[in-house]
Structure 1
Amino acid sequence: PLQTAVREELIWMGKALLRTAQQRARMAGLDVKMEIREGRVQDEICNYIAETQASLLLLGAPRGSTANVFGDDLVERFAHNIQQSSGIPVEIVRPETIHV
């Protein structure tokens, strides 16, 4: 059915984007692990933080706020909610602050 096809396409796109990010991070000398989960995004991030005993979350912000689902205010609120739920610091990384 269409729902299955759309889901599979979204998973494929997500993996492709993550592989690109993974390559860039490795080129910058970072150790990278890729994991795809399903569920409520905030819940899954908090679960992952707890499972890995992470001490910091870097949350990437989209380029520009007009063409994205998340505007700056929503990204800030999302980060705050994760910080409140997980108890660890959450820092927002904006594209304009990254120098590759």
Structure 2
Amino acid sequence: MSTIILPALVRPRPLPSLVLERHREDTKREGRDGREVMRTVNTQDSADRVEEAERTLEELRTALEKVGIKLPSLGLDPISLACEAPIPLVELGRCSVRTAAQLAAALR
């Protein structure tokens, strides 16, 4: 009879709050292949990126509304915010064919 060794389960990280602490630097340790890696995360930069993404999202929403277009799923992609140094992505989401046609006409 052979023994099967299963890898340890990795606990997923919780999604970060959109409100990040400001003006703080944290040093993180992560073990990889038995080695420790030291990394500094500037939470001010992270907070600035998320705030800029939120402002840009509202500007886009307002511009679309001015031409009569509403994207119901428009928002920030939560997965892109889930790392220690987030790189926010805007999720345009799905829309009806009619809304897609209006968006295409507005872009022409």
Higher helix content, 1 or 2 = 1
What is the TM-score when the length of structure 1 is the normalising length? 0.37
What is the TM-score when the length of structure 2 is the normalising length? 0.35
Larger Rg: 2
